[in-house]
Amino acid sequence: MSDHLADESAIASVSPWEARGSLIRSIAHRLAGDRELLPVEGRLASFDRATSWLNSEPLTPEGLRGRVVLVDFWTYTCINWLRTLPYLRAWEEKYADAGLTIVGVHTPEFGFERDLRNVVAQSSNLGVTYPIAVDSDYGVWNEFANHYWPAVYLADAEGKLRYHHFGEGEYARTEMVIQQLLVDAGAKDLDMDMVMVDPQGLEVAADWRSLRSPETYLGYGQSSGFVAEDSAFYDQPHVYEGVRDLPLNSWDLTGDWTVARHAAVSNEAGARIAFAFHGRDVNLVMGPATAGAAVPFQVSLDGRAVDGAQGTDVDADGRGVLTDQNTYQLIRQSGEIDDRIFEIEFLEAGAEAYCFTFG
């Protein structure tokens, strides 16, 4: 943001249109001139290693020549990507006819995201209508030398990469570069206003001012903060006793669980996870261990009913049901945010819990 303000003050003496154009050109020029911002030797990489395509026939850099291309790396449970999605949908709607093509590259983080049926279903549920390169073997990911979800790469009409951004945010900056590249490609009468979005549920941006809890994995392959962690119990059923007091950003299990590399798996009704967190939202990537099963659950805060702080995937009493492996929003608080203890109890066996995120 400070870069934008500096640029705006430097061009305040010219007309608004000239100022905006100069600002966009300055951003695009600086980004294009930074060698670190030109991966894959500065050219749009190949999509040939995609395992399949949705919403489109296979696309190639040569076939996209003449259009501005936004390549978006995503995976459907990623909370950071979900919070960018309203902008991607809005840019597709506003700029497709002016020469923008968005290619969403779906590269899975979790094993269930490799299942094409899941990708098809969730793409439809989320309203992703632009072309999707399904990248279940990380082929396109490697072609772009990418390392992040989400990641945006912008190529001009000649196929040269001009900009990229990793993570959330920088929406106005990204949109200004889109606009400048479209104008450079010959777009006429382009509406230069920024898109307006109305995110809901998981798509609402985090409250970064109050957020003090990090993404936390429960499978031992990447876990952190598990107070009862003991490698002697990995990959086998074990009854965990639970602890009374949890330090901030730590978690514990109660009941019969199998802590596997990919997730913590409940083996009995009444198995619980507790997490000491500080943030507005609690989200959990989870689902039934058996396809087609439904596992009911109950959530609480500080040992009491959620009392109006329920997320979009639970009812007013804090109850919900696991029906597929996905990101579930369990808590959304209002008012002052403080340290809290979140707990989820699975009322039947057979739940897999992968990763907590917060907002």
Indicate the pTM of the whole model: 0.88
pLDDT digits (tens, 9 = 90+) for 293-324: 999 999 999 999 999 999 999 999 999 999 99
| CA-closest candidate to residue 338, choices 248, 204, 251, 225 | 248
CA 37 – CA 145 distance, rounded (Å)? 12
- The top-level CATH class assigned to 216-358 is mainly beta
Mean pLDDT over residues 118-138, rounded?
A: 98
Question: Closest by alpha carbon to 63, among 183, 181, 157, 185?
Answer: 157
Each residue of 174-230: pLDDT tens digit?
999 999 999 999 999 999 999 999 999 999 999 999 999 999 999 999 999 999 999
Q: Is the pLDDT of residue 283 over 50?
A: yes
Range of weakest confidence among 33-42, 102-111, 126-135, 302-311: 33-42
Q: How far apart are CA 351 and CA 153, in angstroms?
A: 37
Contact 36, 164 (CB under 8 A): no
Does residue 37 surpass a pLDDT of 90?
Answer: no
Beta bridge partners of 275: 251, 342
pLDDT at residue 21 in the model: 39
Q: If pLDDT is split at 50, 70 and 90, which confidence band does 41 have?
A: low
9, pLDDT greater than 80: no
- Among candidate residues 31, 7, 278, 33, the one with its CA nearest the CA of residue 165: 31
H runs (alpha helix) in 53-138: 79-82, 85-95, 116-125
Tell me the average pLDDT across 75-82. 98
Q: What is the arithmetic mean of pLDDT over 2-11?
A: 25
Specify the pLDDT at position 25: 38
For the domain spanning 2-203, the CATH number is 3.40.30.10
Between 4-18, 58-72, 84-98, 105-119, the lowest mean confidence (pLDDT) is in: 4-18
Whose CA is closest to 159, among 248, 68, 86?
A: 68
18 compared with 150, residue with greater pLDDT? 150
Please say whether the dihedral angle defined by the alpha carbons of residues 14, 19, 23 and 28, taken in this order, is positive or negative.
negative
> What is the torsional sign of CA 33, 35, 38, 41?
positive
Going from N- to C-terminal start, the domains of the chain cover 2-203, 216-358
The pLDDT value given to residue 256: 98
Q: Compute the distance between CA of residue 196 and CA of residue 192 in angstroms, rounded to an integer.
A: 12
| Segment 102-123 mean pLDDT | 98
**Sheet hosting strand 68-74, strand order edge to edge:** 52-54, 132-134, 100-106, 68-74, 151-155, 161-166
Write out pLDDT tens, residues 230-259: 999 999 999 999 998 999 999 999 999 999
Output the pLDDT for position 345. 98
